[in-house]
Chain A
Amino acid sequence: MINIVGAGLAGLSAALTLAERGIKCRLISAQPSERAQSVLAEGGINAALDTMGEGDTAELHFEETMKGGAFLADPNAVQSLTSGAPGVVMKLASLGVPFSRNGDGSLMLRSFGGQKKKRTAFAQSSTGKMIMTALIDEVRKYEEKRLVARFPHHTFVRLLTGNCGCTGVRIKDEFTGRLYDCGGSVIAALGGLNGFFPSVTTGTVTNSGSPAAVMFAQGVKFANLEMIQYHPTSIAIPGKRCLVSEAARGEGGRLFSELDGSRSYFMEERYPTLKNLMPRDVISREMFFEKRAGRETYLDMTGLSGEVWENRLSDLRSEIMSYLPIDPKNVPVQVAPAIHYFMGGIYVNERHGTCMSGLYAAGECACIYHGANRLGGNSMLGAVFGGMKAAESAAVQQTDDAFEEYTGSDEFACCAAPGLVRRTGELLLGGLGIVRNAETVEAALAGTERLDCGNAVDEARKKLASAMLASALARKESRGAHYREDFPEPDDEYRKTTVCALSGGKTEITFEEIPERRQK
């Protein structure tokens, strides 16, 4: 029996992989899969299918993923990802994901950031929702065969641990308040840490970040926590930032900044090769400097053809029209960067194993494929592929299937205080902006250390928040999404993984070597 915490893309993929091998799992989630953050993923999923006649290869996908991530990812994990990508996407197509197709029936691919070839399979700009729907139906088949047991309104309380590592997970039924202990290995598929930045990310509220914080407090090591992706193009909507998919630029949208009526197409001027499709870290940084010089950035989609709006971006258009409300077909949209993805997370090896035996991690909560900056189209790929790999690893040593109610009390069976969550978010945002320096990070760290906590979950969150800031302080260079004004250049000494561990209540930061690439 394997316990999967989280029923988004990575969790569903893990459940399906186990079920197809006849292995039982529990699929534990605060809400049903339809509410998972994965449904918000828009632009597409990368695979070197080479259906557009451009001579794309998995090796080029590997090279661009490594380069986009500023060479901070484990090359062997990335190679496994990029060579497995075509199989992943074809499997999704066979499950009925309505990908856009070429006239000959092959999958259509679009351009995406940091990639010189068209490599991104898509379904309009609702690719995540389409993939989730197909996977939910597919997993349902195995629920009926009693291979997958859903726990759809249950939250993570804590890992159960023993001498030999992680032995299970304690969960809480949010409808009844009862606690249950589930024996067996655990796959964490928690999603990213956007719950640490309430109201300012493109993510969901359900994704609170508290399970990750509790795991950190229980001794699970985290890595590269300073690597936070700001997506260049978002718009403000009530209570959050709403993503404007990179597909808008992949299909021809252009960024410009404006001051006193004069336009500067700054990305095209400064980066003549990839232009508006430079990796996200680069564009967000350029937008930051434009803004600092008093120039707002706009996304000009007025040159897109009627065919593109009709067949590839219709949902993006209706979303912008509903929230702003302007028609992007006719008017440029003012955009700003927003926190979108966490490259860092639970420290895993290429088999998705953590520092704790019996605990695996996959999807956005795991630090593995994206180095210092993720390429668009690689997140859904990483989630589906990572879920498969974590399941294969966990399947090797599954044993216990005990399930029983826990009638005692648990200090982690509570919620973080909303006010404290908001205050922590403000401090983190102050310290971990697009451009950082020692002074701002130290001020945020000092503020975080002073926060008063009301319960054990608050304490755990404070520890993980401090670890994020301490990681940013320790990396005295600029690389990928981590840009230090006081150390503006990359430094090869720091081409290492930032690893955070709690030791005697204190956060310890070490830099671990990145493995060499094995023979191709």
Chain B
Amino acid sequence: MIVKVEIQRRNSASEKTRTQTFSVETDAAATVALLLECINEEQAADDPISWECSCKQKKCGACAMLINGRPRLACDARVHDYPKGVIKLAPLGKFPVVRDLTVDRSAMFDALAKLGAWLTESAGADETGTAYDASRCLQCGCCLEVCPNFYAGGEFFGAAALAPASRLISEAGTGDAQRLREAYNAHFYRGCGKSLSCKNICPAGIDTERLLVNSNAAAVWKRKMRKARGKK
């Protein structure tokens, strides 16, 4: 089958966006990531589309982009998800564009630094499964794209910070817990409008509502998630 791929392109953030359209012969099970690889090798070899890609199996978050208006990983989106045969690709809208579909997501990592997303004491055993679930966060930014409260550079850091914060709070010792609770309140709890728009968007399938409930309980109402580790 032939699909039409419309790609928003520009060489830098200051340039005006132009749309370039490609016709690609493919099969219905192909991913958008595969289409982009084909386009770059066969049709755009002289001026390849800039996009980020790494694992091609939904485990690294590199290829997040807007696909027909919705933030998704290009390696997750299949041709058969778009039965009209038209696939429109645009860069994530909440981060500065570097080139074509590549955006600068450093605001996400800066937020984690500002949050103090680390431990200074030995980790304890998380009793809730939160550490495992939250550690699966890809830092792709899809959740931030749909969040009505998040903008890059603001004081509210969104679900991309909720996940690491939840992981750390669930395992934190006494000293870290106080610091992380305060940071969580300042940069997540106070700014979150509880729209839960992040709930069904995560490519890793993280249940952000569950993280929110557990971490609010721990950070805001100081319920314990951790028990001291046994000696062995």
Instruction: Kindly report which residue of chain B lies nearest to residue A139, judged by CB atoms.
Output: B118
B86 at interface (Cβ–Cβ under 8 A)? no
Interface string of A59-98 (1 = CB under 8 A from B): 0000000000000000000000000000000000111101
Please give me the 8 A-B residue pairs with the lowest Cβ-Cβ distance, nearest first. Answer: A105-B230, A96-B123, A141-B118, A133-B135, A98-B131, A35-B54, A206-B54, A96-B171
**Interface membership of A185, Cβ < 8 A:** no
Instruction: Assess A31 versus B62: contact at CB under 8 Å? Given A205-B56, A422-B41.
Output: yes
Separation of A71 and B169 alpha carbons in the complex (Å) = 46
Whether, in the assembled complex, A453 has its beta carbon less than 8 Å from a beta carbon of chain B, the answer is no
How far, in Å, is A390 (CB) from chain B's closest CB?
23
A105-B52 CB under 8 A given contacts A126-B136, A152-B106, A238-B34:
no
Q: Nearest chain A CB to B125's CB is how many angstroms away? A: 7
Smallest beta-carbon distance A118→chain B, Å: 16
List, in ascending order, chain A residues with CB within 8 A of B54's CB: 31, 35-37, 204-206
On whether the beta carbons of B62 and A35 are closer than 8 Å, the reply is yes
Pair B29/A204 contact, Cβ less than 8 Å: no
1/0 contact trace for B29-56 toward A, CB 8 Å? Answer: 1110110010011000100000011111
Whether the pair B137, A105 counts as a contact (CB closer than 8 A) is no
9 A-B interface contacts by CB (under 8 A): A34-B139, A93-B123, A129-B59, A133-B136, A140-B112, A152-B109, A175-B98, A205-B54, A238-B75
- CB of B218 closer than 8 Å to a CB of A: no
In the assembled complex, the Cα of A104 lies from the Cα of B116 at a distance in Å of: 32
Which chain A residues border B57 with CB–CB below 8 Å?
Answer: 40, 237, 240, 242, 319, 323
Q: Which of B29, B106, B123, B132 has the most CB of A within 10 A?
A: B132
Residues of A89-147 at the interface with B, using a CB-CB cut-off of 8 Å, are 93-96, 98, 101, 104-106, 123-124, 126, 129-130, 133-134, 137-138, 140-141, 143-144
The closest CB in chain A to the CB of B37 belongs to A239
- Measured between beta carbons, the chain B residues less than 8 angstroms from A130 are 132, 135
The interface residues of chain A lying within 8 Å CB-to-CB of B118 are 137-138, 140-141, 144
* B84 CB-CB contact with A under 8 Å: no
Give the interface of A toward B (CB within 8 A): 31-32, 34-37, 39-40, 51, 93-96, 98, 101, 104-106, 123-124, 126, 129-130, 133-134, 137-138, 140-141, 143-144, 150, 152-153, 175, 204-206, 237-240, 242, 318-319, 322-323, 417-419, 422
- Cβ contacts under 8 Å, B230 to chain A: 104-106
* B31 and A175 contacting across the interface, CB-CB below 8 Å: no
Does B16 touch A at the CB level, under 8 Å?
Answer: no
B interface residues with partner A (beta carbon < 8 Å): 29-31, 33-34, 37, 40-41, 45, 52-62, 75, 78, 98, 102, 104-106, 109, 112-113, 116-120, 122-123, 125-126, 131-132, 135-139, 164, 167-168, 171, 205, 229-232
Partner of B122, one of A36, A94, A105: A94
Quick one: which of B56, B58, B59, B125 contacts A101, CB cutoff 8 A? B125
CB distance from A242 to the nearest CB of B (A): 5
Complex CA distance for A126 and B55, rounded to whole angstroms: 14
* Contact present for B41 and A419 (CB under 8 Å): yes
Bound complex: CA A204 to CA B54 (Å): 5
**B138 cross-chain contacts in A, Cβ below 8 A:** 34
Give A492 Cβ to nearest chain B Cβ, in Å.
41
CA of A130 to CA of B126, assembled, Å: 14
Q: Which residues of B contact A237 (CB under 8 A)?
A: 56-57
Residues of B within 8 Å of A93, CB to CB, are 123
Which of B31, B45, B102, B139 is the one whose CB lies under 8 Å from A239? B31
Which of chain A's residues have a CB closer than 8 A to the CB of B136? 126, 129, 133
Within the complex, which residue of B55, B106, B119, B132 is in contact with A138, where a contact is CB–CB below 8 Å? B119
Instruction: Collect the chain B residues with CB atoms within 8 Å of residue A101's CB.
Output: 125
- Known: A98-B171, A133-B136, A418-B45; 15 extra A-B contacts, CB below 8 A, are A31-B52, A31-B54, A34-B60, A35-B54, A35-B55, A40-B55, A94-B122, A98-B135, A133-B135, A133-B167, A138-B119, A237-B56, A238-B30, A238-B78, A418-B40
Q: Which of A31, A141, A238 contacts B56 (CB 8 A)?
A: A238
- How long is the Cα–Cα vector from A51 to B230 in the complex, in angstroms? 14
Residues in chain B near residue A206, CB distance under 8 A: 53-54, 62
Contact (Cβ within 8 A) B41 A35: no
Shortest Cβ distance from residue B69 to the other chain A in the assembled complex, whole angstroms = 22
A40-B59 in contact given A96-B131, A105-B125, A422-B41 (Cβ < 8 Å) = yes
State which of B55, B58, B104 has its C-beta within 8 Å of the C-beta of A204. B55
- Chain B residues with CB below 8 A from A417, complex form: 45
Q: How far is the CA of A37 from the CA of B131 in the complex (A)?
A: 21
How far does the Cβ of A439 sit from chain B's closest Cβ, in whole Å? 30
Do residues A39 and B29 form an inter-chain contact, with CB atoms below 8 A? Answer: no
Chain A residues with CB under 8 Å of B31's CB are 238-239
With CB as the reference atom, state the residue of chain A lying closest to B98: A175
Given contacts A98-B131, A141-B120, contact A32 B167 (CB under 8 A): no
The answer to whether B52 touches A35, judged by C-beta atoms less than 8 angstroms apart, is yes
Residue of B nearest to A239 (CB): B34
Contact A205 B106 (CB under 8 A): no
**How many angstroms between the C-alpha atoms of A205 and B117 in the bound complex?**
28
- In the bound assembly, the distance between CA atoms of A50 and B204 in angstroms comes to 33
Closest chain A residue to B48 by CB distance? A418
Query: In the complex, what's the smallest C-beta–C-beta distance from A454 to chain B, in angstroms?
Result: 11
A37 to chain B, nearest CB (A): 7
Say how far A28's CB is from chain B's closest CB, in angstroms. Answer: 15
A37 pairs with B55, CB closer than 8 A: yes
A141 to B132, CA, bound (A): 21
- Assess the B60–A39 pair: CB atoms within 8 A: yes
Cβ–Cβ contact A96 & B168, under 8 A: yes
- Flag if B53 contacts A205 (CB, 8 Å): yes
Check B61–A35 contact: CB distance below 8 A.
Answer: yes
Does A95 lie within 8 Å of B60, measured CB to CB? no
Given known A-B contacts A204-B60, A239-B56, A98 and B132 have beta carbons under 8 A apart:
yes
A175's contact among B37, B104, B119, B123, by CB below 8 Å, is which? B104
Query: What's the minimum C-beta distance from B180 to chain A, rounded to whole angstroms?
Result: 11
Residues of chain B lying within 8 A (CB to CB) of residue A144: 113, 116, 118
Given A39-B59, A95-B123, A104-B230 in contact, is the A32-B109 Cβ separation under 8 Å?
yes
Are B109 and A39 touching (Cβ within 8 A)?
no
